Amino acid sequence: MINSGSTNTFGGQPPLGFKYLGLSTICTITPNVVKQTIARSHFRVTKKSHDWLGCWGHHMKSPGFKVIGSHQKLNHFPGTFQIGRKDRLWRNLSKMQVRFGKQEFSFFPRTFVLPQDIKLLRKAWEDGGSKQKWIIKPPASARGIGIQVIHKWSQMPRKRPLLVQKYLHKPYLISGSKFDLRIYVYVTSYNPLRIYMFSDGLVRFASCKYSSSLKTLSNKFMHLTNYSVNKKNSEYQTNSDDKACQGHKWALKALWQYLGMKGINTTLLWEKIKDIVIKTIIASEPYVSSLMKMHVRTPYSCHELFGFDIMLDENLKPWILEVNISPSLHSNTGLDVSIKGQMIKDLLNLAGFRIPPREDVTTPCSSASSSTNSLCGGNRERTKLDLSADEKLKRAFYLTQRYANQDFLSTVLDVLTPEDVRVLAESEDELNRRGEFERIFPSPSSSRYLNFFECPRYLNILLDQWEQKYWNNRTTCILLRTLCQEGVHLGTSDPAHMVRNCIMMELNVKLEEVLKC
């Protein structure tokens, strides 16, 4: 396995000199499963103002990201509330649906944000008839707080912001109960976009058998699947076995086994969930990328774990319910510990915390160097000013080509610039640390998602073409290692890595074609 320029020691021994640094908890919300994983890996928890490698804590306002040193890593990106708040999530997905059609974006219920959409809701309410059910949610709450299922207009609260959705009244049931899925999604970078999904997750059941009767709508134990709600039911049954299909919380892998025994194609179902995740993350991309450019010193400084809540209807179609930007990592049972513990261990390895020279730590705003065990050992940290004029020309060339086809886009790999080599090496290093995470973007089949970005990104094109060409032959890492050993990733004047002449030749060919016409 090729290790990154990181400690990569979660579950192992720390590298020499590690004792001088630590991971900071900073605030009191850091979950125990994170603290315990850090402790087992011999990291030292610190509360000093700048002597830390990583922080797991609260989301903060975008300008606050400016104080993060280039060797430090926070577990949030600026702007992810654009999908983490229920009202923003539906606004952004609705925009995507208008732009790309219901065929691509039909995985969320019809939604109205009040008070802005009150007239539209009233019309939809009247068109739907008296037996139609609606679910109302506060736009920024969690743990099922303030959620109700209603069917009368008179039940609608009037004096506070609300999200109103058409209720999914025909869910897929197991043993008569409805359930939802908690899918763990980890984004290591927004530019280029890299998305991972953990192979396991949680299945949370309502603790009362489901009924579609209007008389039952006030029963939260029947209509809500939140653990924080159902654990209060005296009939709630716990489950500590990650392989058992029993109680009111299962492991996701246990669900796949249960459905597989019923002849259901769980592979296809997983692919549909991946599709939802990728499209939803892309819906937040323009906001996050803009704020990263404004407030974050280096792309290395941010990463984020999301909790996607997915429900299956009676036809096994997955629907997104919400996205959590601080998903609960509290572990109350052996089942929670088994799934969340492994997930956090793999996540922190994927994060690739780097150990800078001690002199860099004493200056909070200094740039970091990585350790030397990476594919491109000794690489300097990327900043916003690294691009040479030649690299800027290459990016502009590929981003301004209208109606570019696959044959043309594949030429992006013909001449690899220093920044290309750095990004590709970083991505390969990261992929080799994935543990039980699966990278779903970029992937060999993810090129079609490039059309959903508000603005095309050069690095997304680069990684997409790399995946298409080398996904079944990762031994090409040897090529990247050779280039890094030659120092190409640090900058070079070698004509073999300069695109200017190649692009001029291409433009001359196009000019000749135009003149012939």
Render pLDDT for 469-482 as a digit per residue (tens, 0 to 9): 988 887 766 778 77
| Dihedral sign from CA coordinates of 181, 184, 189, 194 | negative
Q: Are 60 and 76 in contact (CB under 8 A)?
A: yes
Q: Which helix (H) or strand (E) holds 512?
A: helix 500-516
423 close to 457: Cβ distance less than 8 angstroms: no
| Whole-angstrom distance, CA of residue 460 vs CA of residue 452 | 12
CB contact at 8 A, 358 and 366: no
E strands present in 366-470: 437-441
- Is the model's pLDDT at 516 over the cut of 60? no
Q: Rounded mean pLDDT of 249-264?
A: 97
Please report, for the chain, the start and end positions of each structural domain, with discontinuous segments joined by +. Answer: 82-109+168-351, 389-515
Instruction: Give the mean pLDDT of 125-146.
Output: 80
In the block, residue with structure tokens 């992937």:
443
Measured CA to CA, the distance from residue 154 to residue 167 in angstroms comes to 17
Q: What values do phi and psi take at 190, rounded to 5?
A: -100, -25
Q: Among 114-128, 183-197, 315-329, name the one with the lowest average pLDDT.
A: 114-128
422 vs 414: CA distance, rounded Å: 16
DSSP state of 153: G
CA distances from 169 to 143, 312, 467 (A): 21, 11, 41
CA gap 219, 177 in Å, rounded? 13
What stretches of 65-184 show up as alpha helix (H) in DSSP? 81-84, 86-100, 118-128
- The C-alpha torsion from 438 through 439 and 444 to 445, rounded to 10°, is 90
pLDDT tens for 431-455 read 999 999 999 999 999 999 999 999 9
Closest CA to 499 of 380, 376, 389: 389
The predicted structure's pLDDT at residue 514 = 43
User: What percentage of the chain carries pLDDT values higher than 90?
Assistant: 55
Whole-angstrom Cα distance, residue 82 to residue 74? 18
The pLDDT of residue 10 is 55
CATH code matching the domain that covers 82-109+168-351, chosen among 3.40.50.970, 3.30.470.20, 1.10.287.130, 3.30.1330.10? 3.30.470.20
